[in-house]
Structure 1
Amino acid sequence: MTQANLAVAEARLAADQAGATTAEDTAARKSIARANVQLAAARQNWTLSTQQHQLTVSRAQAAVTTATRQLASDQAAKKDAATIATDTAALTTAQQTFETAQLDSSAASNQASASISTAGLQITTAEDARAANSTPAAAAQIDADRMAVSRAATSASSAQTAVSGARLVAPGDGIVVAVNIAAGVNAPSGDAIRIETGPMEVTASFAESDLPTLALNQPATVTVTAVNQDLTGKVSQILPVATSSGTSSVVTYTIVVSLDAAPPDVKSGMSAKVSVATATAANVIAVPTIALVGSNGSYEVRVLDANGQVQLRPVTVGLTTSTLAEIKSGLSEGDQVVTGTATARQNTTTTGGGGIGAFPVGGGGAGGGRNFRPGGGTQP
């Protein structure tokens, strides 16, 4: 409509600036004829568009009916949960398709109606231009016509901007978690609609001593106590800004782990424990960490000799965790290592072929609760 008003204003200005000559009168007649052709075409397009969208809406409604019946049938037959979930998803998709078809039908009808109105106005404009007096209008009238054209152009631009922003398109697949807008109410100053998109992420705080061993894309294990599951992921971010508690001098850094896959029962905001594998050692000799004696890189272990006597043996220690320690040298597979008091009843046998991983305990250690958040979208 605003475009039509602009066309009317421009035509009036042109008519007032100069009277119609014979050639202009002929051109005006042709303009009227073209406008009539456009009006007929607009009406035909409206008819065809209405029929096509009615068919689409009818098919979408039939799909909803079919999906509803299938879900009811499977529920009555007490099908398994996977089948019911598939039926429910199919019904949801069918309902969304139906709603989209209705919206598209309404939009197409409005657009076709607008085209008819525009074509009608073009006929009126062409007829007015032909009937205009051949004598140019007064200067004051010309100035008024130019101001009317300027106002109409501004209105048309504003209307186009409003139309361009009337449709919201999600940046990707996700779940709508908040709708802060309603029909007939002014749009909020903040987010109108908030969604969760992308893979789930979990944040954790690690001590500054762990930072040199952390790197992007390192594998991580996330334990979600609430659902009793261990999930896999990779380090996706390491925040460079340190944080510290007001009651402690310990400096920590925040890392973000992107989960490979999160089951539906894992929700945003749940607590989790994070362990990041900074190094691994495969096919090595390992002993319980409590078997080590010493510190600062000088270690020994208690070993039972052939006579059943406890002997201290120097060892070279590699990677360690809270439970196991890699022995690079000093022990052989089959040696009996004392892990507690020096008695034969508290010994263990070293084994080969097992892999161990070194994990920093800061942030990802026992009791370190961390919060999930969805990746790639606005945090809930």
Structure 2
Amino acid sequence: MNAYDDGADVERTFAALPPAQGRGFARTWWGRTWLTALEGTALDTQQLKSGRRLARAGAVGAVSVRPGRITAVVQDRDRTPHRADVLLQELSGEQWDRFLDMTAERAGHVAALLDREMPTHLVEDAELAGVELLPGLGDLEPECGCGAWDHCAHTAALCYQVARLLDQDPFVLLLMRGRDERALLEALHARGDASAGRSASGAEGVDAAEAYAAGDILPSLPGLPVLPPEPGTPPSLDTETGPAAGIDASALGHLAARTAVRAHLLLAEALRDGPGERAAEPEPSVARDAVRLAAGEPPRAVADRLAEGSGRGREGLAVAVRAWRHGGGAALAVLDEEWTVRGDSLARARAALESAWEADERPALRSRANHWTVVDAPVQLRLGRDGRWWPYRKERGRWVPAGGPAQDPATALATAEGAGAE
């Protein structure tokens, strides 16, 4: 196979684009994904902003695109030129074979590419074949004449400008991955002819009995992943492209951050407890999930929306967040639910209260439902449905959680009293 056939040493050069005043840099979903790979990796958001300004002002010269690399000369605001390069890993020959085989089997994928479109199902089918077309976080490697080791304003400007090129022609991305348009279409055409020949002569089959007999032979499971030291950081939403109507960028960013924290917690629990079955958690209600999100210290505007959406108001949500931080959903249930203690549960509760203190030290308690309040004192015990005791304290006329649960009511009461002394 010669150099042209496999896309090596093929280069396309695009003339400098006019200034991008008044428009975003990516309008297609694949163009936005390209920018996400940049913006989620760069460590200095100020460099991204400077890069956007340079690209918007038309400071990026002609862009050269070839397998594994894009290059352009970018001028600073003082007209100092810098050669900027961004590297992207080429697909291997095996990956290209898988991609071509998959695409040749789906006429719609070929038609979309010829229409200069990259539909999501094409990218998803490629991923199922083990081929990542679009770059992910960390895949865009910068090199710049200014000497910066991370993405600088010049490499950022180049990436923003290339997003505009990708909007117009997804074959730009495929060239970066190692194949130019002509070589790619020729390879697809050859596979189409070969497939038609096989169909005409009759496809080779697999013995049904052999396939059935091997159906229960499964590969061994992969090893367990290593728990990252901390939850991942979602990509920055600070871009030139404004959010769609009805989308609150700050709320979306907070939701992504809390999702990362929750995923990290679930992975930690799974690694700690092993592969055994886990009890299914109930589906969270909107009101309960609002408390979970508010516990992550959202921006003020987001917190106000959560307070309204939960039906608790600001003060009520603040109390619910305190409960959540002491014990998650179980603590929140104790805050919200008042239930009548009967039968064996009542007998166990009375026995626990009887044995928790010496007779001369036992506080005078007034009971109502699952609440035991100390007479003439702003402290209270609440019994959870699981038999644990939760400390509460009255503040500004409202009962608020004062700590985590305890099996011993005396311990829980001491926690409530200690909270008042802080």
Q: Is TM (by shorter chain) over 0.5? A: no
TM-score by length of 1: 0.22
Normalized per residue, the structure richer in strand is: 1
TM-score by length of 2: 0.20
> Higher relative contact order at CA 8 Å, sep ≥6: structure 1 or structure 2?
1
Task: Please identify the structure whose Cα radius of gyration is greater.
Answer: 1
